[in-house]
């Protein structure tokens, strides 16, 4: 609600002219207000993860699947499908 109020107020404002600066009119529809963060390829297996990080995970007793998630290991669609099938099988 606060953002909508601010937007409505912004629509009523006029651009100041006191500076006497000349530039092309801004096209606010052409501006990209959000860009998704660029992702960098992560490790494909725990073998590519820093061994020191894996030691910390072991010391904390974190399970292997959770270690993969925390380390950002890229998962293939096949492994995701296998895990989904395992969950369905376990739930009966």
Would the pLDDT of 81 be above 80? no
Nearest to 66 by CA among 78, 81, 49, 85: 49
Q: Report the first-to-last Cα separation within the chain, whole angstroms.
A: 45
Q: What is the pTM of this model?
A: 0.41
Q: In angstroms, rounded to a whole number, what is the distance separating the alpha carbons of residues 36 and 30?
A: 17
Higher pLDDT, 13 or 38: 13
The 10s digit of each residue's pLDDT in 3-26 is: 999 999 999 999 888 998 989 988
Residues whose CB falls within 8 Å of the CB of residue 74, separated by 6 or more in sequence, listed in order: 41, 42, 43, 44
């Amino acid at each position: 609600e606060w953002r909508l109020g601010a937007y409505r107020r912004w629509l009523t404002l006029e651009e100041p002219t006191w500076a006497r600066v000349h530039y092309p009119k801004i096209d606010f529809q052409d501006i990209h207000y959000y860009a998704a963060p660029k992702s960098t390829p992560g490790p494909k297996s725990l073998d590519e993860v820093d061994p020191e990080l894996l030691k910390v995970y072991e010391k904390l007793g974190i399970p292997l699947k959770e270690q993969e998630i925390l380390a950002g290991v890229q998962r293939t669609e096949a492994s995701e499908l296998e895990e989904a099938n395992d969950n369905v099988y376990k739930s009966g």
